[in-house]
Structure 1
Amino acid sequence: MAATRSGGEQVPGVWTKELLNSAQGDSFSLLRLAAGGECALTGSAEDRILVLDGRLSIAADGTGRAADHRSGAYAALPGDRNVVSSADGALALVLTGRRLGAPADDVFSPQGWQESGPGQWFRLLLDVTFDENFDERVVGLSYFEPGSSSPRHPHHTAHRFLFLDGEADDELVFPDGTRRTAHRSKGDFVDYPHPIEHQTFSGTGCTILFLHEPIPTAEQ
């Protein structure tokens, strides 16, 4: 997690916002740096930083060797303690958890996407053999073309979504049959518990970061 305080004082030009800290060990935190902002970031090589906007420089503390990462980069941390900075300002998502996948230079590029339905595409951010229901642990990106929709579906998982751009209407179906439609847009973070079913329609098109976390069964 990014340290935004030094000696008890707020570090100028650095803000963090925790979106998730789950019992399964996952955490999502937004990190925003103003132009010239710099902070310490502790973690491990298993953690990931997804650059959402701008450009980040990441260096292992004390080495002086920094790597630059542009929007779309899915980067690993080079050390246990790191220095993260941005000359012009940046927004990133810091992810911790199990098997978050190999780093990539640009996860928003056309390469690596698979079609999941009419007008819908996905790209996994971790290496996993999954079933067609996405009922295991999955972390990835989903893209809806304008006017596309997903059919109503359940998962035996918790649903976690961060809307990266665009807008969508998400119809939720609760176990008692109650239905509710929620309008989502860029910046919305959603944590749906099991066993909610849902279906999504996007008139504008949208890109979503998603994480499915399996629900333990009695046999596990």
Structure 2
Amino acid sequence: MASHTSVFGPGNWVAVPGTGDGPERAWTKELLNSGEGDAFSLLRLAAGGTSRPAGSADDRILVLDGALSFADGDGPGGRTLHKGAYAALPATGGTTVTSAGGALALVLSGRRLGPPAEDVFGPQGWQRTGPGQWSRLLLDVVLDESFDERVVGLAHFEAGSFAPRHPHRTAHRFLFLDGEADDEWVLPDGSRHTARRAAGDFVDYPFPIEHQTFSRTGCTILFLHEPLPAGA
């Protein structure tokens, strides 16, 4: 089980080389690379920072804070992505991205990550999924009770809400974006473990780990299910 705490903090960033003279203004941090499956990494730009993220139009970049500008966009100065934008990387890859005031973004690689959206944190597109719980799917799927599908989305827990322990034949990856929650996971041998999750915590639960979550304060989570390979 891969996990990282406080990934938005100052530790473990890798400076992006060749971003200009003087102090580095762009950094990356890898959270997960599952080989031929999903990959998660953070990109941080200081004011005036520049980077050339690798990837393709099948990948996605989610702006968590600030604003990013792509050099290949429409009109003078390219396209600008603000907080909440869920966008495709340029089809050619390696296009320059800049930030006038600084920005933090999550770069997702993998199959079927859903269509781009202008503001996934806004009020549109959310559905109630239980008492005090809401979700916004970034990939359009019809969920069944097994939760074995490929799923990418956001979950919001109101203060005091609870998601009971549940199995699914997928890896279950999530990044806490705000708030706090108590998370309990159960290993195949029956042993139980708990942790207090907070903004900036990333967790990868492989199958067949089961877990349940309770939030006293309320929280918002980005989550992704990667199904097991056929025949596994």
When normalised by structure 1's length, the TM-score is: 0.91
2:39 is the counterpart of 1:35 = no
State the match for 1:103 in structure 2.
116
Name the CA shift for 1:10/1:160 in 2 (closer, same or farther; >3 Å): farther
State the match for 2:78 in structure 1.
66
Q: Give the CA deviation at 1:3.
A: 8.8
2:65 is the counterpart of 1:53 = yes
Whether the 8 Å contact between 2:38 and 2:226 is mirrored in structure 1 is: no
State the match for 1:87 in structure 2.
100
State the match for 2:7 in structure 1.
none
Secondary structure class of the residue paired with 1:88:
coil
2:207 is the counterpart of 1:212 = no
2:74 is the counterpart of 1:75 = no
State the match for 2:151 in structure 1.
138
Q: Which amino acid aligns with 1:83?
A: T
State the match for 2:6 in structure 1.
none
Distance 1:42 1:3 in 2: 15
Distance 1:43 1:212 in 2: 21
Q: Which amino acid aligns with 1:188?
A: D
Structure 2 spans left out of the alignment, 5+ residues: 1-13
Name the CA shift for 1:129/1:59 in 2 (closer, same or farther; >3 Å): farther
Distance 2:82 2:166 in 1: 35
Q: Which amino acid aligns with 1:5?
A: P
Name the CA shift for 1:4/1:11 in 2 (closer, same or farther; >3 Å): farther
Q: Give the CA deviation at 1:130.
A: 3.0
When normalised by structure 2's length, the TM-score is: 0.86
State the match for 1:170 in structure 2.
183
Q: Which amino acid aligns with 1:26?
A: D
Q: Give the CA deviation at 1:193.
A: 1.3
Bigger CA drift: 157-166 or 77-86?
77-86
State the match for 2:27 in structure 1.
15
1:137-161 deviations in whole A, cap 9, x for unaligned? Answer: 1111111001101111111111111
State the match for 1:203 in structure 2.
216
Secondary structure class of the residue paired with 2:120:
coil
Q: Percent identity?
A: 68
Whether the 8 Å contact between 1:171 and 1:179 is mirrored in structure 2 is: yes
List, as ranges, runs of 4+ consecutive aligned residues in structure 1 with deviation greater than 4 Å. Answer: none
Distance 1:78 1:216 in 2: 29
Name the CA shift for 1:108/1:156 in 2 (closer, same or farther; >3 Å): same
Secondary structure class of the residue paired with 2:40:
strand
Name the CA shift for 1:59/1:195 in 2 (closer, same or farther; >3 Å): same
Structure with bigger strand share is 1
Distance 1:6 1:181 in 2: 42
The alignment of Structure 1 onto Structure 2 pairs a total of residues equal to 216
Whether the 8 Å contact between 1:99 and 1:127 is mirrored in structure 2 is: no
Structure 1 spans left out of the alignment, 5+ residues: none
